[in-house]
A = this chain, B = another copy of it.
Amino acid sequence: MAHAEITLAHGGGGRLTQQLIERVFGPAFRNPALDARHDGAVLNVPAGVRLAFTTDTHVVKPLFFPGGDIGALAVTGTVNDLAMCGARPRWLSAGFVLEEGLPMETLERVVRSMADAARAANVEIVTGDTKVVERGKGDGVYINTAGIGWIEQPGTIGPAAVRPGDAVVLSGDIGRHGMAILAQREGLAFESPIVSDCAPLWPAVEALLAGGIEVHCLRDLTRGGLATALIEIAESARCGIAIDEAKVAVTEPVRGACELLGLDSFYVANEGRCVAFMPAVQADAAQSLLARTAPGGPVVSIGRVSGGPAGQVTLRSVLGVERVLDRLSGEQLPRIC
């Protein structure tokens, strides 16, 4: 269905975001880097150097939440997109859209948090821009970060390298970031507060690469969550993926909150979790490397890549029932990042 107007769902990371990319941005900007459909572009600069380049605007609401804030998110999100290209994150830009009337103290707190996150991820914020819009034309602060990283290993990491038989390893429990935001936004109080999983993923990726794992693809589980990440990779790689539901860790507070609100944790955003694809024979080695270096929760091999049908992600439940995961068609959680 063609939409005459932008809806919140166009920014949700699901079917309408994909349509926007395929019908509006793709045809206008077409080039090989965009076609790769990955978290960032891989660029060949002179002298055989390869860079990754990526961008993300953050419009999260509220600005501050358990486990982070918009500043930490703006740095960590872009750092993680670079890591997912197999690139060592190195430099960030920061572009601010401030709403008239924003308390200076809020900006200072956000900026300090960006500086802390940059230090933690070992990147530098080297260039920036600030715009101010009138009251009612923004929402406190929006932050765009773009990032550059170096790719040191020779291979290409991305959906095109995924092969039938590859293992799918998941680095931790899912659903925390989205539910932390939602609980904060809706004023929900749970017995144990849900804390965002916002954390840099490069140390985990570096460990895989240094450990000799033949990493085929990496994807962080942001907007649209684990399900959307797997569907996008299955579509780009023209493979099927079969996941064992019981192996996917979801903490009790997240599971409870999802049930209460009628949400599926497989579609809830994370900011410090990824899936890694590698030859099945290396899955155990990859798991133990990730268990020592990934930011949190159990590291588990949750499934396998199959020959097909292309683009189909199948979830086998605890009871042995299989169901096919669909892209989100509407908007599950607006402004979670």
Interface, chain A (partner B; CB < 8 A): 2-12, 17, 20-21, 24-25, 28-29, 31, 33-34, 40-41, 43, 45-49, 51, 53-59, 90-91, 93-105, 107-108, 111-112, 114-115, 118, 124-134, 136-139, 142, 144, 146, 148, 150, 334-335
Q: Are B51 and A45 in contact (CB under 8 A)?
A: yes
Residues of B within 8 A of A107 (CB): 6, 24
Kindly provide the distance from the CB of A78 to the nearest chain B CB, expressed in whole angstroms: 10
Distance in angstroms from A305 CB to nearest chain B CB is: 25
Chain B residues closer than 8 Å to A55, beta-carbon distance? 93-95, 127-129, 144, 146
Q: Is the CB of B6 within 8 A of A132?
A: yes
* Copies of this subunit: 2
| Interface contacts beyond A58-B131, A137-B137: sample of 6 additional A-B pairs, CB < 8 Å, sorted by A | A24-B107, A25-B130, A47-B49, A55-B129, A55-B144, A56-B95
- A-B pairs, top 5 by smallest CB distance, nearest first, are A11-B132, A146-B146, A47-B47, A55-B93, A41-B126
Complex alpha-carbon distance, A111 and B142, angstroms: 21
Among residues of B, the one whose C-beta sits closest to the C-beta of A13 is: B130
Q: In the docked arrangement, what's the CA distance between A10 and B103, Å?
A: 12
> Could you list some 25 contacts between A and B, CB below 8 A?
A3-B104, A4-B103, A5-B101, A5-B102, A6-B99, A11-B130, A11-B131, A24-B107, A28-B115, A29-B94, A34-B125, A41-B91, A47-B47, A47-B49, A53-B127, A54-B93, A55-B93, A55-B129, A57-B144, A58-B131, A97-B97, A129-B144, A134-B334, A142-B142, A144-B146
Q: Which residues of B contact A136 (CB under 8 A)?
A: 136
Contacts of A6 in B (CB 8 A): 98-104, 107, 132
Q: Across the interface, do B31 and A127 meet the contact criterion of CB distance under 8 Å?
A: no
Q: Which of B59, B108, B130 contacts A131 (CB 8 A)?
A: B59
CA of A138 to CA of B11 in the docked complex: distance in angstroms?
Answer: 14
Contact B127 A57 (CB under 8 A): no
| Contact indicator B95/A28 (Cβ below 8 Å) | no
Asked whether A5 lies within 8 Å of B103 as measured between CB atoms, the reply is yes
Q: Which residues of B contact A100 (CB under 8 A)?
A: 5-8
Question: CA–CA, A115 to B24, complex, Å?
Answer: 11
A112: B residues at CB distance < 8 A: 28
| Residues of chain B within 8 A of A25, CB atoms compared | 94, 111, 128, 130
